[in-house]
Amino acid sequence: MHDERWDRLTQAADALRERLEVSPRVAITLGSGLSDGFGLPVGGARIPCGEIPGFPVPTVAGHTGEFWSGRIGEVPVLLQRGRVHFYEGRTLDEVTFATRLFAVLGVKVLIVTNASGAIRPDLRAGDLVLITDHINMLGANPLHGANLDPLGPRFPDMSSAYTPRLRAIAHAAADAEGIQLKEGVYVATLGPSYETPAEIRSFRALGADLVGMSTVPEVIAAAHAGMEVLGISLATNLAAGVDPNAALSHEEVIETTKRKGAEMRRLLLAVLPRL
Q: Which of 85, 162, 194, 228 is catalytic?
A: 85
Nearer Cβ to ligand HPA (33/44): 33
Backbone angles phi, psi at 181, to 5 degrees: -125, 110
What residues between 181 and 200 interact with ligand HPA by CB under 6 A? 194-195
Cα angle at 76 between 148 and 42, to 5 degrees? 130
Residue 214 designated active-site: yes
Q: What is the rounded radius of gyration, in angstroms, for the C-alpha atoms of the chain?
A: 18
Within 8 A by CB and 6+ apart from 245, the residues are none
Residue 250 designated active-site: yes
User: If binding is defined by CB under 6 A, does position 212 make contact with ligand HPA?
Assistant: yes
Please pick, from the candidates 35, 69, 116, 215, the single residue that binds ligand HPA as defined by CB under 6 A.
116
Nearer Cβ to ligand HPA (216/220): 216
Q: Which of 15, 158, 160, 250 is catalytic?
A: 250
Alpha helices (runs of H) in the chain, residue ranges in sequence order: 4-19, 34-38, 92-95, 97-104, 164-177, 197-206, 216-224, 250-271
CA distance 223 to 160: 9
Within 8 A by CB and 6+ apart from 91, the residues are none
192 cis-preceded (ω within 30 degrees of 0): yes
Q: Which of 15, 51, 87, 158 is catalytic?
A: 87
CA distance 103 to 220: 12
Measured from each CB, the residue nearest to ligand HPA is 117
**Segment interacting with ligand HPA (CB under 6 A) among 13-21, 67-75, 231-239, 267-275:** 231-239
Counting residues that bind ligand HPA (by CB under 6 A) gives 13
Site string for ligand HPA, 232-251 (x = CB under 6 A): ----xx-x--------x---
Binding residues (CB under 6 A) for ligand HPA: these are 115-117, 194-195, 211-213, 236-237, 239, 248, 253
Catalytic residue set? 32, 63, 85, 87-88, 115, 213-214, 237, 250
